[in-house]
Amino acid sequence: MFEITDKPIQAEAIIKKVHKADCGAIVTFWGTVRSPSEGKEVIYLDYEAYAEMALPQLEEIGQEIKERWGLEGVAISHRLGRMVPGDIAVVIAVAAPHRREAFQACQYAIDRIKQLVPIWKKEVFGDGSRWVEEH
Amino acid sequence: MRIGVRFFAAFRDVVGHSHLELETPPTTTVAQLRELINRRFPRLKDAPLRMAVNTQLAEPEQLLHEGDVVALLPPFSGG
């Protein structure tokens, strides 16, 4: 299940979506808005996406995980719009029969999101803003 | 040819538009379109970016077609 949403992410629902009887492990990753960043207090972030390309890229990551680890229980929800420190920007859930593959695939998913998905965040500080360029 | 170009994030701030229609010669590659855009918006000239054609990442030598939608993508910062 892959989605891009402008509403707060319902993490419990995402975990329920990937759970299957033959899976002994579910690993989740939550990407949270942090402050300070680069030593400066973050007032808020604005996230935007090239939605027509971002959603297929999330599905592509799911396909890569299926091919590499044989796992189908993968869910990614990425939120867009304005968020403040403490908000959850992305939730990934991966279910697997055993924990080793679940941990590996979940890490892979967040690494690939940062490489592959056309989403950008702008940090807004008290004295200005910047589009974040590093991963 | 008429090509739609979409600008995101920092590039939209520089260009002042989220999308533009550009007229190009009938055989234009992705690289040549980038040159065209650089001439019109010199501040984008040295910016690291990738280009997508109709939502697929594209190689510089790829030929464009009438009505293609090209996106200028700054380095991603999702996740």
* B18-69 pLDDT per residue, tens: 999 999 999 999 999 999 999 999 999 999 999 999 999 999 999 999 999 9
Q: Which of A5, A110, A132, A134 to mutate to test the interface with B (most CBs of B within 10 A)?
A: A132
Tell whether omega for the bond before A36 is within 30 degrees of 0, i.e. cis.
yes
User: End-to-end alpha-carbon separation of chain A, Å?
Assistant: 24
List residues bridging with A90 in a β-sheet: A31, A78
Separation of alpha carbons A55 and A58, rounded Å:
5
Would you state the pLDDT for residue A38? 87
CA dist A26 and A74 (Å) reads: 10
A109 Cβ under 8 Å from any chain B Cβ: no
Q: Is A4 on the interface with B (CB under 8 A)?
A: no
Question: What ipTM is given for this predicted complex?
Answer: 0.93
Biggest CA-to-CA distance, chain B: 39
Q: Which residue of A has its CA nearest to B54?
A: A53
* Ramachandran angles phi, psi of B43, nearest 5°: -65, -15
pLDDT value of residue B33:
97
Nearest CB partner across the interface for A120, out of B9, B52, B55: B9
B70 burial via Cβ count (<10 Å: 0-12, 13-18, 19+): buried
What whole-number distance in Å separates Cα of residue B79 and Cα of residue A117? Answer: 9
CB pairs < 8 Å spanning A and B = 70
Q: Any chain B CB within 8 A of the CB of A24? A: no
Gap from B4 CA to chain A (nearest CA, Å)? 14
Q: Which of B9, B55, B77 sits opposite A53 (nearest CB)?
A: B55
Of B70, B76, B59, give the one whose Cα is nearest residue B10: B76
DSSP A25-66: EEEEEEEE--S-BTTB-EEEEEEEE-HHHHHHHHHHHHHHHH
Nearest CB to A31; choose among B6, B48, B79: B79
Q: From B53, which residue of chain A is nearest by alpha-carbon distance?
A: A53
Given a cut of 70, the residues of chain A with pLDDT beneath it are 135
pLDDT at B27: 93
Residue B71 has pLDDT above 90, yes or no: yes
Q: Taking the mean position of all CA atoms in its chain, how far away is CA B54?
A: 11
Burial of A37 (0-12, 13-18, 19+ CB in 10 A): middle
pLDDT on residue A135: 64
